[in-house]
C-alpha cells in the first residue's frame, strides 16, 4: 500500500517553472512530463515513449506535439500518436501515452493523482492568501531526500525553531508556550500564543519598531499534503488575539509536499504576507532568507531519513510537542485506507 493519498491534487510545479520546454518530474511514483502548449495551457503526460520507453521529456517540441528523440514517434498533446517512425506507415491511433488532468491555481500547476474522471478543480486545497489582491506571495522549490510525511511532522511541530532556526525565527518562548490542537474533518490545527515577548529578528524588522509583542503560530494541515502556518506579531496592547490578529504584521507560510518516491519528495515553499506588499525588493530579499531557513530544515530532515533507514529496528516516538504531526498522519492514514477500500469495492 502506498504512503500517499490517491484521487487528490498535488503541486507539480510553480507556474513559472512550466514553460514550452518539457519538464520531467516524478509525482507519487509516476514519471511525468509537463509543458505548455502554444496557447499556454499545460500538458501533463507520462514521461515514457510508448515505443521503447525513452523519456519523452528528452524529445523535440513540434508545435503542441512531442517527437521522441530515439526513433521519431510523434505524440500529440492529447497523448495520441500523430506520426509513426517510418513515414510510410499508417498512423496507429491506438498508440497512446497516458495523460493526466492538470489545473492552475494559487501560482501553482496542479496534477491529479488517481482516477482522471474524478478530477474536479474545486477540490484543489484552498491556499487563499496566495491569490488575495491585498496580499503578496512568492516562494521556491527544494528536492528533499526524505518521506514527505517527515516534512509534515516538521511543519506541524514548530518547537524545532528554537534550535534549528535560532538565528532567524527561533526563540526560547516557543518551547514555553502551551499548545492547542484540534481536528476538523481532514484538517488538523495546532496553535501557539506567545504574549508580551521580545520579537525575534525577522519579525522585529517586519514590524519596524521596538517593544514587546504578542506572537502567534497557527499550523493547519490540509489533505493530501499541505501545511499553512499563520504567523506574525502585533505590539502589546494593539488588541490582537489568537482568533483575530491583523493589527500588526501577518504572514502565511505556504508549504506543499508532493511525494516523489517513498523516501523523497518535492517541497514547494513560500510565504504570503499582508504588509509591504508593493516592496518587490523586500519580497526578493525575504525569499532568499526564507530559502535559507528551509535549507536548514532540509539538512535536518535528510539526516533524519538516513538515520531511519540505518536503524530499521528502531521507530519514531511521539511526545506532546508532536501532537500536530501525529494527528496529520492519522488523517493521511484514514484517507489512504478509505481510498484502498473503495478501489477494492470497485474491483469486486
As a whole number, mean pLDDT of residues 259-269 equals 97
**Which pLDDT tens digit goes with each residue over 118-161?**
999 999 999 999 999 999 999 999 999 999 999 999 999 877 65
For residue 264, the tally of other CB atoms under 10 A from its CB is 16
CA distances from 277 to 120, 136, 266, 316 (A): 32, 5, 27, 41
Residue of 34 and 201 predicted with greater confidence: 34
- pLDDT for res 163: 54
Residue of 200 and 266 predicted with greater confidence: 266
CATH 2.60.40.3670 fits 8-121, yes or no: no
What are the domain boundaries of the chain? Answer: 8-121, 134-338
- pLDDT for res 176: 65
Residue of 256 and 203 predicted with greater confidence: 256
Tell me which residue of 49, 35, 109, 105 sits closest to 77, measured CA to CA: 35
Give 339's pLDDT tier (boundaries 50, 70, 90): confident
CB 293 within 8 A of CB 169: yes
Q: Determine if the pTM surpasses 0.75.
A: yes
- pLDDT for res 173: 58
Please tell me the least confidently modeled range out of 63-67, 103-107, 174-178, 311-315: 174-178
- pLDDT for res 91: 84
Q: Is 204 left (phi over 0), alpha (psi -120 to 50) or beta?
A: alpha
- pLDDT for res 205: 86
Q: Is 94 left (phi over 0), alpha (psi -120 to 50) or beta?
A: alpha
- pLDDT for res 193: 92
Query: What is the CATH superfamily name and number for domain 134-338?
Result: Naphthalene 1,2-dioxygenase Alpha Subunit; Chain A, domain 1 (3.90.380.10)
For residue 106, pLDDT beyond 90: yes
- pLDDT for res 301: 96
- pLDDT for res 164: 53
- pLDDT for res 172: 62
- pLDDT for res 202: 81
Residue of 246 and 227 predicted with greater confidence: 227
CA distances from 309 to 28, 244, 304, 333 (A): 20, 43, 9, 21
Give 188's pLDDT tier (boundaries 50, 70, 90): very high
As a whole number, mean pLDDT of residues 97-116 equals 97
CA distance 22 to 69: 13
Residue 226, strand partner residues: 222, 256
For residue 302, pLDDT beyond 60: yes
As a whole number, mean pLDDT of residues 85-108 equals 90
CB 100 within 8 A of CB 235: no
> What percent of the chain is predicted at pLDDT more than 90?
74
For residue 342, pLDDT beyond 80: no
CA distance 152 to 327: 11
Amino acid at each position: 500500500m502506498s504512503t500517499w493519498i490517491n484521487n487528490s491534487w498535488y503541486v507539480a510545479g510553480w507556474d513559472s517553472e512550466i514553460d514550452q520546454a518539457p519538464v520531467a518530474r516524478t509525482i507519487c511514483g509516476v514519471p511525468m512530463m509537463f509543458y505548455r502548449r502554444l496557447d499556454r495551457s499545460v500538458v501533463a503526460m507520462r514521461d515514457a515513449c510508448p515505443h521503447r520507453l525513452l523519456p519523452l521529456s528528452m524529445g523535440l517540441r513540434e508545435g503542441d506535439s512531442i517527437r521522441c528523440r530515439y526513433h521519431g514517434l510523434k505524440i500529440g498533446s492529447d497523448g495520441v500518436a500523430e506520426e509513426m517512425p517510418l513515414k510510410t506507415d499508417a498512423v496507429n491511433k491506438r498508440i497512446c501515452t497516458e495523460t493526466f488532468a492538470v489545473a492552475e491555481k494559487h501560482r501553482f500547476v496542479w496534477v491529479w493523482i488517481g482516477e482522471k474522471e474524478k478530477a474536479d478543480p474545486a477540490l484543489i486545497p484552498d491556499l487563499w492568501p496566495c491569490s488575495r489582491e491585498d496580499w503578496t506571495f512568492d516562494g521556491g522549490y527544494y528536492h528533499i531526500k526524505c518521506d514527505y510525511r517527515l516534512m509534515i511532522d516538521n511543519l506541524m511541530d514548530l518547537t524545532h525553531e528554537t534550535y534549528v532556526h535560532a538565528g532567524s525565527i527561533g526563540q526560547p518562548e516557543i518551547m514555553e508556550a502551551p499548545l492547542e490542537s484540534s481536528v476538523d474533518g481532514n484538517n488538523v490545527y495546532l496553535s501557539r500564543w506567545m504574549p508580551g515577548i521580545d520579537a525575534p529578528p525577522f519579525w522585529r524588522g517586519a514590524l519596524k519598531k521596538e517593544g514587546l509583542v504578542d506572537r502567534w503560530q497557527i499550523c493547519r494541515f490540509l489533505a493530501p499534503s499541505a501545511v499553512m502556518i499563520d504567523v506574525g506579531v502585533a505590539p502589546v496592547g494593539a488588541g490582537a488575539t489568537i482568533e483575530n490578529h491583523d493589527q500588526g504584521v501577518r504572514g502565511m507560510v505556504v508549504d506543499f509536499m508532493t511525494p516523489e518516491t517513498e523516501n523523497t519528495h518535492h517541497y514547494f515553499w513560500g510565504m504570503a504576507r499582508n504588509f509591504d506588499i508593493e516592496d518587490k525588493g523586500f519580497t526578493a530579499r525575504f525569499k532568499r532568507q526564507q530559502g535559507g531557513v528551509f535549507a536548514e530544515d532540509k539538512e535536518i530532515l535528510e539526516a533524519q531519513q538516513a538515520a531511519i533507514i540505518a536503524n530499521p529496528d528502531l521507530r519514531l516516538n511521539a511526545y506532546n510537542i508532536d501532537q500536530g504531526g501525529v494527528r496529520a498522519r492519522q488523517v493521511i492514514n484514514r484517507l489512504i485506507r478509505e481510498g484502498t477500500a473503495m478501489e477494492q469495492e470497485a474491483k469486486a
